[in-house]
Amino acid sequence: MHYMRLSRLNRALAAAGIFTTGLAMAQTADTTKQTGIQEVVVTAQKVAQPASKTPLALSVLGGEDLKEAGITEPRALADMVPNVQIGQESGKLQIAIRGVVSLDMTEKGDPSAAFNVDGAYIARPEAQGSAFFDLDRIEVLRGPQGTLYGRNATAGALNIITAKPEKQLGGKVSVELGNYNTKRVEGMVNIPINAMWGLRAAVSGNRHDSYLNPGPNTDIPLESQDDRAGRIHLLGTFSKDTSLLLTAETSRVKGGGSTPVPISNFFNGTAVDTLAFSPAGTGNNISNPVYVDRGATEQLTTSQRFIGTNGHRNNKADSLRAEFKTSLGDSVGLSYQVARLKTELDELQNGIYFGFPLTGLISGSSQSTSHELRLNSTTNGPLRWVAGAYYFTEWIDRYTDYTTYITAPFGSFNVLVPYRPYITNKSKAVFGQATYAVRDDTRVTVGLRFTRDEKTGTDPLAGTVSEDGSGVSSAAYSNHVKFSNTSWKLGVDHDLSKKIMLYASVATGYKAGGFNDQATAGSYKPEHLTAFETGVKGRFFDNTLQVTGNYFHYDYKDLQLTSIVCRSADVTTCGSQTTNAANAKVDGAELESTLLVGENGTLRANVALTKAKFKSYHPNATDDWSGDSLDRAPEHTLGLAYTHRYTLPGGAELSATAQTRFSASYYISDPSAGIRYQQPSFHKSEVSLGYTSQSGKVRVQLYAKNLENEITIESRVPGTFFVGDPRTYGIRTSYSF
């Protein structure tokens, strides 16, 4: 790969890959006794097929993988999957895949990675973290998925697949206790009602105290968790080909409101963006920031005075889904899914802005409905295809007040920055993808999707209180934008042997444009990404070594970059602004492998090398970031995990797992100020020890995560950071019946 100069670490990782292969060869004699790595069937391309025969960059975590790793929320996926970062800002997910991410977390923004639960698109990031219980598997698709998943999938897609009703009566109860007063409870019951109908119900409760240290804020509720969720599936199977799945799902996300920590916890430098009346040495940024490791205690300390004594979070999400499947004759299958999601927000957040404490009171609701109708081939002939139509509508009603109360010694006044937006989104699409076997061992794929998007928004306040009593401020906006796009894919895959497949593709992705939240801020265009990728998937040594690898190149145009922009020194003129700021190119390579070691061991490894650079980019009138790295795009990451199982007398089993993840440094930036904060390289490790009874019904696991107690920066808002979790540990127990 001539595009990338190998550092010492890169060479070490390459050597690790060679060592792994050598280890596999050395273990051949022993591992023939293994039953082999189990194949996983996925629906990443809208039809069921083995993961090892799906020609795209795909990581799959099955139910057992999720249990072993203790993955109970989306951010934990980043420790298991290469080239994926998942952070949070103000309680909302920020998903970055191969350096592609959306930072507009407001009601006018859209994500860059499609987040789907059982095939239904979840548009609002505040509703994306509640489905992580009673899961069958998680599929992480890296790279643009414009043909089958449509708009807002330039980064890729996360498919959360829940467990469905089965034919056996059974259930499960699990309890987790840990530090920070962690208590997590899950329950599931599966009931076959009769030969035709089956029901599966699951509930989850998850709470913990704040990970943050209050500093002087001993009377202020800091960010914590106290969540509840439930799901009911009712599955009717009327024949071999005809079924109806009805789903109702609800969640309540409660606890203390989202709380960031000051940038000065991590960086030294001179505070900038200070208003004339701001306290000395404070501001929204630090110029020429220098990272200083002050230790986890200081990094987690809120340190500055907060004012939101009623800080809280009480958000709701309720969804209804229905999916009908049948066959049309002997060669065509039909699927229709309708999904409705309603969210309600009620949250008081604490923060620091221009050196002053402020509260963000956010309320309102949103509702989305999606319809997808698909036809697909069901025969085993040389031609396999899927085609469909998609329709999505969404309305968002928000009430947001950012309020600062200033008292002595800084004077006595308050500032109110109110927003009352109403947003509607509509998206229509038709799509198709066909794969034709030109030979028994070679297939060609062609895909096409045509999309029309509309977005309308109004806000009579847009950050400024009306001064004339009319209820309409000078910053009020009313905007309507339309976009259309044709995404496509061309690919070829070839079987070198029964268990080794090569593939290559070129595909495009599209993220819809939009408008900004103040009258003079204007609108922005869609962003487009063209991806070239080639890869290999194979199984070796009697199915005891599985390897997937790929190389990719992105041509990334009209990037939508978001920052806080102020039109003057008046805080009421500040707002979230998105612009088509730059073009970029991204090159990289990824490797994932699983090796059965001896009769009882499993070694997993993943490596990602990425070079994501702006081509030409001037974030403001004075700075030039051309040739600099994109945010959230570490040049290399490495993940290693080893599990060993011991069979005890009587048939019970012990399992011990140790894993670690290393990440090179990455940036989190404020383009409008021309300032880049660099999160230094880090590694996080975890261990677990599990016991499973002979019957498999009782399971106990001790665990410890982030042994290094490494506190990493996940996102930035003016003057502050949201950060990752500290060291956690505890015990999980479960009983199946």
In 3D space, the residue among 569, 578, 561 whose CA is nearest the CA of residue 668 turns out to be 561
Q: Say if 1 falls within a structural domain.
A: no
CB 363 within 8 A of CB 345: yes
Q: Say if 46 falls within a structural domain.
A: yes
Eight-state DSSP code of residue 517: S
Q: State the first-to-last Cα distance of the chain, in angstroms, to the nearest integer.
A: 53
Strands (DSSP E) contained in 69-181 are 84-89, 92-97, 113-117, 120-121, 135-142, 156-162, 170-178
Alpha-carbon gap, residue 522 to 575, rounded angstroms:
12
C-alpha pair distances (Å), 733 with each of 184, 230, 702, 736: 10, 20, 9, 10
Please give the structure tokens belonging to residue 169: 């009566």
CB 229 within 8 A of CB 133: yes
Q: Say if 700 falls within a structural domain.
A: yes
CA-based R_g, the chain, Å: 26
Q: Say if 280 falls within a structural domain.
A: yes
Please give the structure tokens belonging to residue 683: 């590694």
Eight-state DSSP code of residue 471: S
291: CATH: 2.40.170.20
Q: Tokens 């039809």, residue?
A: 47
Q: Is 650 helix (H, G, I), strand (E, B) or coil?
A: coil
Given a cut of 70, the residues of the chain with pLDDT beneath it are 1-34, 274-279, 406-413, 567-573
Q: Say if 110 falls within a structural domain.
A: yes
Single pTM value for the model: 0.90
Q: Into how many domains does the chain fold?
A: 1
Structural domain of residue 552, as residue ranges? 8-736
- From the CB of residue 605, how many other CB atoms can be counted at a distance below 10 Å? 22
C-alpha pair distances (Å), 621 with each of 219, 254, 625: 43, 43, 11
In 3D space, the residue among 609, 604, 598 whose CA is nearest the CA of residue 636 turns out to be 609
Q: Say if 2 falls within a structural domain.
A: no
Please give the structure tokens belonging to residue 703: 């665990």
The reported pLDDT for the residue numbered 115 is 94
Q: Is 287 helix (H, G, I), strand (E, B) or coil?
A: strand
Q: Say if 3 falls within a structural domain.
A: no
In the chain, the percentage of residues whose pLDDT exceeds 90 is 70
In 3D space, the residue among 511, 461, 460 whose CA is nearest the CA of residue 483 turns out to be 511
Bridge partner list, 486: 450
Alpha-carbon gap, residue 528 to 503, rounded angstroms:
23
Alpha-carbon gap, residue 215 to 74, rounded angstroms:
29
Q: What share of the chain is helix, strand, coil (3-state, %, to 5)?
A: 10, 60, 35
The bridge status of strand 728-736 relative to strand 170-178 is antiparallel
Residue 692, CB half-sphere, CA atoms under 13 Å: how many? Answer: 15
Q: Which residues, 6+ apart, have CB-to-CB distance to 548 below 8 Å?
A: 52, 57, 58, 535, 536, 537, 538, 591, 592, 593
In 3D space, the residue among 497, 501, 603 whose CA is nearest the CA of residue 548 turns out to be 501
Alpha-carbon gap, residue 140 to 127, rounded angstroms:
18
Alpha-carbon gap, residue 307 to 311, rounded angstroms:
9
Q: Say if 481 falls within a structural domain.
A: yes
Whether the link from the prior residue into 165 is cis, omega within 30° of 0, is no
Bridge partner list, 182: 178
| pLDDT, tens digit (0-9, with 9 covering 90-100), for 158-182 | 999 999 999 999 999 999 999 999 9
C-alpha pair distances (Å), 539 with each of 80, 81, 441, 592: 20, 19, 16, 12
In 3D space, the residue among 127, 126, 102 whose CA is nearest the CA of residue 113 turns out to be 102
- From the CB of residue 380, how many other CB atoms can be counted at a distance below 10 Å? 6
Alpha-carbon gap, residue 430 to 278, rounded angstroms:
54
